[in-house]
Structure 1
Amino acid sequence: MNTKFLPTLLASCIFAGSQAIAESQEDEDLFELSLEELISMEIPDVTSVSRKKQRLMDSAAAIYVITNEDLRRSGVTSIPEALRMVPGMQVAKLNANTWSISTRGFNYIFANKLLVLIDGRTVYSPLFSGVNWDVQDTMMEDIDRIEVIRGPGAALWGANAVNGVINVITKKAADTQGNLISAGAGTQEKAFGAYRHGGEFGETGFYRVYAKAFERDGQVDAEGKDTSDDWNMRRAGFKSEWKTTSDSEMTIQGDLYEGTTRPPLRLLDQSQALFPQLTNGFIVEGLSRDQRGGNLGAYWKRTLSETHDFSFRAIYDNYQNFDYRIAEKRDTVDFEFQHYYQFWGKHDLVWGLGYRTTWYEVENTPYMFLLEGKDSKKTELFSAFIQDDITLNDQWTFTLSSRFEHNSFTGYEVQPNARLTWKPTENRTFWTALSQAVKTPSISETALQTDGITIDDTSPVKYVIPIKGNPDLKSEKLTALEVGYREQFSNSFRLDITAFYNQYEDIIAYVDINQCPNGSSTFPLLSLQNLCSNTDPSLGFFEIPATLINGLDVRTYGMEVVADWQAKDWWKLQFNYSWLQVDAWPNKERTSILRVNEVIVEDLSASHTANIRSTMNLPNQWYFDFWVRYMDNLKNANIGANTSLDMRVAKKFGDGLEFSIVGQNLFRNHHREFYEPLSGMAPTETRESWYAQIRWQF
């Protein structure tokens, strides 16, 4: 798409909108509000920082909230794409169905330092401590908000909440009554649709049921050719809530899903006969990956007063993955009790207990298998947490909290936190926090053998790195210092600034070993790496066996800035910018493999990222929105800095019918966002796309 006319187009739209609004007052419900009322509407209460409701302005953490209105006006169709709005959150597509998502460093396909929850349900995979983003979904219209904490949240939420917490919170069933139909189609969004119905039962009960499905086209390679990484998914679910007594309420909800992806993996088939789909020598590609699963959760809460309540949550989650690399199945049961009580007028105490167990089954393949001949594994997690918010006076609040856990990998872990908040005025807040957090080892890091990953896709000679799990791994540890400032100016401008310094110890790294997967010995290659002695150069590949150790220490520091400006009652601008610096060094004897790890850790995250979002409410219920985002170069992935533009034009008819056209990634026909050779993924490029959508609520 030719973008030379875009500045003129945007300026024309702004001028035309201002002229028309000066002459028309069609949206009376909007224009009756003052700027002060408008900006106040955009500051929601949050619950993720302290596990209780509090004003965002009062929160002693770097928290950002994506509202339901943000989701609708941005035109995003998935949770990962929505996270691009968050300052400091680096979201990059490896292909049409796979993302690398992290904040404050360590961004790659197996990013494992974020804890993600959907309505209190933890969705990280014990296989690699990360998230299968392609199965985390719901109706976007039913998401109330996404609260994102940048920085440690482990004191309340537990291990793996190291660099942040993403909490997806859906609307109450009482707020989704009636019917909603949404459907659309486009170039990459080939077809999608959703239906939701909400109703009442009994005197106090509400429910909703929904179903959705989509089919998305694949991305392209550097020459613009289709890479066949298409994706389809079907999902259905429900949510119901009712009062059990005058002071108690119950919520039950669940989901079922199934779908197929075609990740463009590049695996070396050493048998040359396992699959017929072989190209580029012995490279396997173009095979499907089927996934299905479901969850069921129950939540009960009793509220004795505004300052005293307790709750209990029980969740069951099932996930099944049928992959030619590894077939896996896991069942997770999660229980949690929480008690909140305010005493002596100055202490807000929250404490709780938790238990989680996961049964994990693996069907071994030539590419991945559990060590020691096992095909199943059970893990358990026992936890307790406590937090005390102490009000020192009208301006100062001091918070102490900690979480105590026992897990199946490293035993006992303690993760303390201390926060101090100073509010010299009602609209100005300064805060600081000192935290410790851990990332416990995963099944793939401790008990899995991985073979067949090629680390040089362009060379005629393939280098393959078999990775053997290490059961002696320790937890990765973080000590973090944060300082923040936020203020609301003149009822129309809000500023939020955070600076941080993180010190990591015992980061897991690759190191070469002297034993090949088949048990044979190795021989040195130029004293750099050890090659398997059974390697036959005539076959065109070399094996470099490796294992994992706690081999790196890392330091990260940076700054994040968020600014919201209600320029006019019909026009809002949002801006955020983040700067990140990452330094890594070996904490053991320096080897070539560890030097590679330094580069991976330091250069897989962008140093600078930025977002500008504009939303305009024009006359006659027309809406025009655009979103410009920038990501600095990724040195290790050999990807230059890139800027993308999304645009949305919408028209509402009455109260319930809306038609919109959305363009995404409009600055270039296609561009690469991420590439990490150790993932085994072939490089693909995100392409320019358009789709049209109709949404009818009645």
Structure 2
Amino acid sequence: MNTKFLPTLLATCIFASSQAIAESQEDDDLFELSLEELISMEIPDVTSVSRKKQRLMDSAAAIYVITNEDLRRSGVTSIPEALRMVPGMQVAKLNANTWSISTRGFNYIFANKLLVLIDGRTVYSPLFSGVNWDVQDTMMEDIDRIEVIRGPGAALWGANAVNGVINVITKKASDTQGNLLSAGAGTEEKAFGAYRHGGEFGETGFYRVYVKAFERDGQVDAKGKDTSDDWNMRRTGFKSEWKTTSDSEMTVQGDLYEGTTRPPLRLFDETQPLDPQKDNNFVVDGLSRDQRGGNLGAYWKRTLSETHDYSFRAIYDNYQNFDYRIAEKRDTVDFEFQHYYQFWGKHDLVWGLGYRTTWYEVKNTSYMYLLEGKDSKKTELFSAFIQDDITLNEQWTFTLSSRFEHNSFSGYEVQPNARLTWKPTENRTFWTALSRAVKTPSISETALQTDGITIAQIGLETYLLPIRGNPELKSEKLTALEFGYREQFGNSFRLDATAFYNQYEDIIAYVDISQCPGRPISPPQNFCSNTDINSRFFEIPTTLINGLDVKTYGLEIVADWQARDWWKLQFNYSWLQVDALPNRNRTSFLDANEKIVEDLSASHTANIRSTMNLPNQWYFDSWIRYMDNLKDAKVGASTSLDIRVAKKFGDGLEFSIVGQNLFRNHHREFSETLSGIAPTEIQESWYAQIRWQF
């Protein structure tokens, strides 16, 4: 697509729309609302900061909410794509089905410092403490909101909530009654569809059931040639809720899914000779990665008053991954009790207890296998948390909280937090927070050997880096200081700004070892550390240590402007600086780790979103994204444009056309060497969608 006319096109659309709207504002009921009513409609209450409902304006944290309206108007078709809206959140696609997602640094394919929840269900993998984003899904129409905390949330949510918490909250079954049918097709979104039905049972019960499926096309290489990283998934699920007594309610929900991705892999195949003159010695294409799983959860809550309730949650989760590199199966059972009580009029106390256990099975392959004596099939996590919100007076609130955990990897962990809020006026808030959080070691870091996956090319030389897990690893630790300011100006403008300074200790890094890996590799010959294969290929066995200390600091700004009753603009910008330093004698490996940590995150990111309600139920939405260059990934700065044009017919039928990544035909967003996944380039795409609610 020729993009040099896009600014003119957008300006023309905006001017023409404003003229038309001036003539016929009576066409939409929305225009009957005042600016104050419009802006207040879009400031939802949040629950992720304090585990209880509170106004976003009162929250002493850098929290951003993606609403259901944001999801619909943006045209995104997956949760990872939606997270691009969040200030400071760096979302980069490695290929058509693999993302690297992080905030405030440490962005790579195994990003492991974000805790992700879907209706209270923790979805991070104990294998690598990250998230398999390609199986985290539901009907986008059923998501009520996505609450994203940038910064530590460990005092309430636990280990691995180091740089943030992503909490996906779906709608109540009572809010999704009737039928909804959604279907579409396009250039990359080849075909997708979903159907949901909601109904009632008994005198107080509501339910919904849904089915969803999609098939997405693969991307292209740097020359524009098609690759095979396509993706298909099928999913079904339900949610039901009912009152058990006059003051108690019960929710039961579950999902089943299965699907296949074909990520292009970059692996050392010992059965194939190496050719120093070839650039694609290691690319293995067309291999399927099958995944399936399901979950079932029950949630019970008793509300005695507005200031007194308690609840219990039980969740079972199954995940199965059949990968060319490694096959993994795991079953997780998670229990949690929570009690909220206000006493003495000034103390809001929330406390709880939790237990999680995971049974896992790792099938050894030529590329990954459990170390001898490290074949434990079970991990456990015991936890307790407490938080006290103390109202000092009408303007000042002081919050103390902490979480206490015992896990199978690092033993006991304590993660405290202190927050202070000052509200000089109802629409102005200042806050500060001091927090400690930890990221515990994972199975892959302590008990797994990888061979032939990590391939680094430096100049004309190629290094194979087998990585041996280290059972002596300690937790990575964070001490974070944050300052925030939030204000509502009049009826049409809202500003939110956060500054932060993070100090990390004992960040895990890989270093070389002076012994051969457990399984020698051949041909052309068995070789060991620094052995010349054929003048360009070397193997250097490595292991993991707590080898780096890191500091990050930055600024995040969010501005929402209701420019007209029919036109809203949203802007956010973030600046990030990352400085790493080895915490022991420097080596070339520690220096390389330092460079990776510093250069895999963008220094500057920004979003501008425009939503316009036009006459006769037409809608025009646009979204411009900017991400600075990723030096270590050798990816330049990029700007992308998405647009959406929609028309509603009556109350229930909507037709839309969405264009994504429109500034360039294709471009690379990310690249790394640790996972064995080869990068592809993201293409410009279009799709059409029809949504019918009846």
Could you say which TM-score interval applies, normalised by the shorter chain? over 0.9
Q: Summarize deviations over 1:344-399 as a string: whole Å, max 9, x none.
A: 00000000000000001011001000111655521000000000000000000000
Matches of residues 431-442 of structure 1 in structure 2 within 5 Å?
431-442=431-442
Gaps of at least 5 residues in structure 1 are 522-530
Matches of residues 379-390 of structure 1 in structure 2 within 5 Å?
379-390=379-390
Asked if 2 retains the 8 angstrom alpha-carbon contact of 1:26 and 1:620, the reply is: no
Counterpart for residue 524 of structure 1: none
Counterpart for residue 447 of structure 2: 447
Q: TM-score, normalised by structure 1?
A: 0.96
Residue type matched to 1:6 in 2?
L
Q: 1:281 to 1:500 in 2, by over 3 A?
A: closer
Asked if 2 retains the 8 angstrom alpha-carbon contact of 1:270 and 1:282, the reply is: no
Q: Summarize deviations over 1:263-310 as a string: whole Å, max 9, x none.
A: 11111111349xxxx994464332110000000000000000000000
Asked if 2 retains the 8 angstrom alpha-carbon contact of 1:363 and 1:375, the reply is: no
The offset of 1:638, in angstroms, is 1.3
Counterpart for residue 60 of structure 1: 60
Q: Summarize deviations over 1:129-182 as a string: whole Å, max 9, x none.
A: 000000000000000000000000000000000000000000000000000000
Counterpart for residue 626 of structure 1: 622
The offset of 1:5, in angstroms, is 1.6
Gaps of at least 5 residues in structure 2 are 522-526
Q: Summarize deviations over 1:572-598 as a string: whole Å, max 9, x none.
A: 000000000000000011100000000
Matches of residues 390-469 of structure 1 in structure 2 within 5 Å?
390-456=390-456, 462-469=462-469
Asked if 2 retains the 8 angstrom alpha-carbon contact of 1:454 and 1:462, the reply is: no
The offset of 1:460, in angstroms, is 7.4
1:563 and 2:559 matched: yes
Q: Distance in 2 between matches of 1:459 and 1:237?
A: 50
Q: 1:281 to 1:600 in 2, by over 3 A?
A: closer
Asked if 2 retains the 8 angstrom alpha-carbon contact of 1:272 and 1:282, the reply is: no
The offset of 1:535, in angstroms, is 4.8
Counterpart for residue 340 of structure 1: 340
Counterpart for residue 673 of structure 1: 669
Q: Summarize deviations over 1:64-89 as a string: whole Å, max 9, x none.
A: 00000000000000000000000000
SS in 1 for 2:80: helix
Q: Summarize deviations over 1:494-516 as a string: whole Å, max 9, x none.
A: 00000000000000001000111
Counterpart for residue 318 of structure 1: 318
Q: 1:533 to 1:487 in 2, by over 3 A?
A: closer
Counterpart for residue 654 of structure 2: 658
Asked if 2 retains the 8 angstrom alpha-carbon contact of 1:92 and 1:674, the reply is: yes
Q: Distance in 2 between matches of 1:331 and 1:46?
A: 30
Residue type matched to 2:637 in 1?
A
Residue type matched to 1:37 in 2?
E
The offset of 1:484, in angstroms, is 0.3
Q: Distance in 1 between matches of 2:471 and 2:693?
A: 54
The offset of 1:10, in angstroms, is 1.2
The offset of 1:327, in angstroms, is 0.7
Matches of residues 581-592 of structure 1 in structure 2 within 5 Å?
581-592=577-588
Counterpart for residue 547 of structure 1: 543
Matches of residues 509-520 of structure 1 in structure 2 within 5 Å?
509-518=509-518
Q: 1:282 to 1:416 in 2, by over 3 A?
A: closer
Asked if 2 retains the 8 angstrom alpha-carbon contact of 1:579 and 1:608, the reply is: yes
Q: 1:534 to 1:57 in 2, by over 3 A?
A: closer
Q: 1:548 to 1:487 in 2, by over 3 A?
A: same
The offset of 1:455, in angstroms, is 2.0
Aligned pair partner of 1:644 in 640, 643, 662: 640
Counterpart for residue 527 of structure 1: none
Residue type matched to 2:491 in 1?
N
Percent identical pairs in the alignment equals 89
Residue type matched to 2:417 in 1?
N
SS in 2 for 1:49: coil
The offset of 1:533, in angstroms, is 5.4
Counterpart for residue 524 of structure 2: none
Q: Distance in 2 between matches of 1:533 and 1:38?
A: 65
Q: 1:364 to 1:344 in 2, by over 3 A?
A: same
SS in 2 for 1:107: coil
Q: 1:659 to 1:218 in 2, by over 3 A?
A: same
Asked if 1 retains the 8 angstrom alpha-carbon contact of 2:297 and 2:314, the reply is: yes
The offset of 1:686, in angstroms, is 0.7
SS in 1 for 2:372: helix
Residue type matched to 2:455 in 1?
I
1:615 and 2:607 matched: no
Residue type matched to 2:359 in 1?
W
The offset of 1:639, in angstroms, is 1.2
Q: Summarize deviations over 1:475-503 as a string: whole Å, max 9, x none.
A: 00000000000000011000000000000
Q: Distance in 2 between matches of 1:458 and 1:2?
A: 36
Q: Distance in 1 between matches of 2:6 and 2:662?
A: 10
Counterpart for residue 528 of structure 1: none
Q: Distance in 2 between matches of 1:609 and 1:207?
A: 41
The offset of 1:540, in angstroms, is 6.5
**Aligned residue pair count:** 685
Q: 1:578 to 1:283 in 2, by over 3 A?
A: closer
